[in-house]
Amino acid sequence: MGELKLDITMSLDGFITGPNITLEEPLGEGGESLHEWVFGLKAWREPHGLEGGEEGPDGDLVREAVERAGAVIMGRRMFSGGSGPWENDPNPDAWWGDEPPFHTPVFVLTHHEREPVAKKGGTTFFFVTDGIESALDQARAAAGDKDIHLAGGAEVAQQYLKAGLLEEIMLHVAPMILGGGTRLFEGLGPDDAKLELVEMVESPKVTHVRYRVG
Amino acid sequence: MGELKLDITMSLDGFITGPNITLEEPLGEGGESLHEWVFGLKAWREPHGLEGGEEGPDGDLVREAVERAGAVIMGRRMFSGGSGPWENDPNPDAWWGDEPPFHTPVFVLTHHEREPVAKKGGTTFFFVTDGIESALDQARAAAGDKDIHLAGGAEVAQQYLKAGLLEEIMLHVAPMILGGGTRLFEGLGPDDAKLELVEMVESPKVTHVRYRVG
């Protein structure tokens, strides 16, 4: 059976976005620079419909995660930047475009019901209003024996960690200090997760560290 | 000429101590567990006057840092836990014992003058009241061509980073969430340090990552 895995890039000071998130800057000020290591990779460019790109250990890790993922779970704010009823959301679909990079079912946690939205390339967004366990059950059913990729944001990751449902964290630590933004591990304590270091992958751009969550 | 290097253990959520530091728990609640990876190492036990211990990649890194260090800089709170005039400090010497593990000159940043304190085994504490640059000059003179080990705490590290005086950070990231305490990178921003990832060392217990600071 597949596992629920968080795969996320964090700054050295613990942030997964910069400060002041807006529709124009969904990752906050400076937040996009966190992901610079990934934009040039063939393994990232392919699912985004872009030509070319580099191969290497960074790319191998990204490709493995993409190929292992049979479903994705994300929070509402990561989906649209919004909250509240959908009819008031200024950006109900725009962040992920007409052909989102997931190419799998994506389960969006929200308090507001909405019909599924099918996009090109195999991505369908399903909106789950009855909690994280239900979203995980639905994602598991959709993923078959593949993994479920927990895409974020931080609050959703914290909820799954606290509930003991997260099985692995693949953390890409970017060598930068953001100084503000959204902290990945905010509001958690030592008893919320026992982590075991299982793998490190060396790369000149970023530190990849894989943890089992107990 | 030697370099100013910070060598420090941090939790995955960015803390170098736990919350609620007291004289009895100088690393705060849970903070001592950050350093569990080091207590069993021969390279750590030897300078602490303890027998036995393990060898391995963790130990090699610790030994290299110990052997390269010709002087140490630390903050007043790391020295004694106190602040203010020395005559009011309930613990003016006690944390580091009669034979401290440094075996080099140690320059303690403080606002309050005090005569040097010589201990067994080659450690003499000098008290520097005229700022971080003066402490660095004095440490450099004492260290000769060896490195200057910036021992902490967080505020002192932040001051040296902001002043552009720190040359290397060797970060040992312990696989744990502390949830509170002293953040290493508090109050810094993207412009305070350009970091370049130069080395990773794999170990089952902790992630060692070396950064050049530009």
Coil vs helix vs strand at A25:
coil
- Predicted pLDDT at B150: 98
Distance CA B154, CA B14 (A): 11
- Predicted pLDDT at B183: 97
pLDDT at B94 over 80: no
Distance CA A158, CA B177 (A): 12
pTM of this structure: 0.93
- Predicted pLDDT at B93: 79
pLDDT at A23 over 90: no
For strands B124-128 and B105-109, give the pairing.
Answer: parallel
CA distance B165 to chain A (A): 17
Domain B4-15+28-83+94-213 superfamily per CATH: Dihydrofolate Reductase, subunit A (3.40.430.10)
Distance CA A83, CA A80 (A): 8
Chain A hits for B193, CB-CB cut-off 8 Å, are: 177
Largest CA distance in chain B: 46
Chain A hits for B171, CB-CB cut-off 8 Å, are: 12
In this predicted model, what pLDDT tens digit does every residue of B184-204 receive, in sequence order?
999 999 999 999 999 999 888
Could you tell me if A19 lies within 8 Å of chain B, comparing CB atoms? no
How far lies A100's CA from each of A93, A121, B26, in Å? 10, 7, 50
For chains A and B, CB pairs below 8 A equal: 93
Q: How far from chain centre, in Å, is Cα B84?
A: 21
Could you tell me if B1 lies within 8 Å of chain A, comparing CB atoms? no
pLDDT at A100 over 90: yes
Tell me yes or no: is domain A4-16+28-213 CATH 3.40.50.720: no
Distance CA A156, CA A153 (A): 6
For strands A182-183 and A15-17, give the pairing.
Answer: antiparallel
- Predicted pLDDT at B95: 83
Distance CA A23, CA A155 (A): 19
In a mutational test of the A interface, the residue from B171, B192, B197 whose CB has the highest number of chain A CBs within 10 Å is: B197
| Pairwise CB contact (< 8 Å): A207 & B209 | yes
Average pLDDT over residues A123-129: 97
pLDDT at A97 over 80: yes
- Predicted pLDDT at B128: 98
